[in-house]
Chain A
C-alpha cells in the first residue's frame, strides 16, 4: 500500500466522502446502544443514586478531549517534519471537535460536581488542567484564524499544538500527582475496573460512539478545507460540477 497515494488531496477527498456516512451511522447506532445501556440496563449506584449516570457522557467526553489533542499534535508533528499538506488539514479539522468535547467534559463535570461535592467548580488540579486544555484548543484555532497565509497559519498552529501537548499527561496524572477533589480513574489498563460491568460497557460504547462521531465530523471538515485549498486545481473544478 502506498501511503503517499492517500496523502494526496485528490485521492483523500472522494475516499473521505465515501467513509463519512459509515462513521456517522456507526456513531448514531452506538450512541443509541450506549444510552440504552446507560439508562435502562446499568443499575443505580449505591453511593450516588441515579446522579452517577452523567458518567456516560462525562468520561467519554473527557477521554476524547485529551485523545483528540494528542492526535492533533501527532498530525502537527508530521506536518512540520515532512511538510505534508493533508496533515495540517487533519490537525485543523480536529480542533473544533476537541474543543467541543473539552467544553462538554467541563460542563458535565460541573453538573456532577454540584450535587456530589456541593460546588459547580473548584480550582483543583484536574479541573484546572482541563480548563487549560480548552484554552489551548481555542488558542490554536484563534492563532490559525489570525494569520492570513494558510501555510504560516498551519505552522504556527502546529507549533502551539506541540507545546501544549505537555498539558495532556498533566491532566491524566493530575489525580495521582496532587491531592485532588476529583476522584481517581475507575478504569485503568493495569487493574480490574472498579465499577459494575454494565456501567463499564455503557461507558465504553459511548466512548466508541464519540470516536466515530469525531472521525465523521473531522472528515467533513477536512474535505471542506481541502476544497478551499485546492480550488485552483482541475479535480476541484470537476468536483464542483456535482453536489456538495
Chain B
C-alpha cells in the first residue's frame, strides 16, 4: 500500500474520522490503563511502606 501523500494517509479515503476515531480512542484507553495501573501500584507501595514503618500491620 503506497499512499500518495500524508494528506491522503490522514484522509483514509474519506473514512478519516472513523479510522482515526477508532485508533485514537484505543490509544487513549491503553495509555489510561497503563497510567492508572502505575499510579495505583505506587500508591499501594507507599501505603504499605508507611504501615511498615508504623508497624501497624
Q: A and B, one complex? A: yes
Q: Flag if A111 contacts B12 (CB, 8 Å).
A: no
Cβ of B15: which chain A residues have Cβ within 8 Å of it? 49-51, 53, 115
Closest residue of A by beta carbon distance from B32: A100
Closest Cβ of chain B: how far from A228's Cβ, in Å? Answer: 6
Among the stretches A38-46, A78-86, A126-134, A187-195, the one at the interface with B is: A38-46
- Contacts A51-B18, A107-B22, A221-B37 given; does A231 touch B48 at CB 8 Å: yes
Complex: how many Å from CA A107 to CA B19? 11
Given known contacts A39-B1, A41-B1, is B41 in contact with A224 (CB within 8 Å)? yes
Q: For the side of the interface on A, what is the size category? A: 35 or more
The SS class assigned to the B binding surface is: helix
Residues of the A chain whose Cβ atoms lie less than 8 Å from the Cβ of B45: 227, 240, 244
In the complex, A142 has a CB within 8 A of chain B: no
User: Are A227 and B23 within 8 A (Cβ)?
Assistant: no
Per-position binary interface string of chain B over residues 4-18, scored 1 when its CB falls under 8 Å from any chain A CB and 0 otherwise: 000001001111011
**Taking beta carbons and an 8 Å cutoff, which residues of A are in contact with B?**
39-44, 49-51, 53-54, 57-58, 61, 96-97, 100, 103-104, 107-108, 111-112, 114-115, 213, 217, 220-221, 223-224, 227-228, 231-232, 236-237, 240, 244
Q: How far is the CA of A108 from the CA of B52 in the complex (A)?
A: 45
Cα A97 to Cα B21 with chains together (Å)? 20
Shortest distance between the CB of A29 and any CB in chain B (Å): 15
Q: How far is the CA of A230 from the CA of B18 in the complex (A)?
A: 46
- B1 partner, pick from A40, A100, A213, A220, beta carbons under 8 A: A40
Tell me how far the C-beta of B38 lies from the nearest C-beta in chain A, rounded to whole angstroms.
Answer: 8
Do A228 and B12 have beta carbons less than 8 Å apart?
no
Are A107 and B25 within 8 A (Cβ)? yes
Partner pick for A224 among B22, B26, B33, B44, CB 8 A cutoff: B44
Given the complex, which residues of A lie within 8 Å of B40, measured CB to CB?
224
A39-B1, A49-B13 known; A227-B44 Cβ under 8 A: yes
